[in-house]
Amino acid sequence: MEMKVDGRALRMNRFVQRIVSNIFIGILNSLHEIDDWDEATITVKKR
């Protein structure tokens, strides 16, 4: 699990990595259009 802000990787301990990963996995698993996946990329831009 890797998270970057403006190209800089954020340091996260295993607990935070697990929480963030589980949130995104839950989101992806709830989407009916996605049956199986190996890797996901999420990009968020500040308005």
Which pLDDT score, from 0 to 100, does residue 31 have?
Answer: 92
> Which sequence spans correspond to the domains of the chain?
1-47
Q: What is the token pair recorded at 40?
A: 């996901």
Which pLDDT score, from 0 to 100, does residue 19 have?
Answer: 97
Which pLDDT score, from 0 to 100, does residue 17 have?
Answer: 95
- Residues of the chain with pLDDT below 70 are none
Q: Which helix (H) or strand (E) holds 16?
A: helix 14-30
Which pLDDT score, from 0 to 100, does residue 22 have?
Answer: 96
Which pLDDT score, from 0 to 100, does residue 8 have?
Answer: 96
Q: What is the token pair recorded at 14?
A: 């295993």
Neighbours of 42 (CB within 10 A): 8
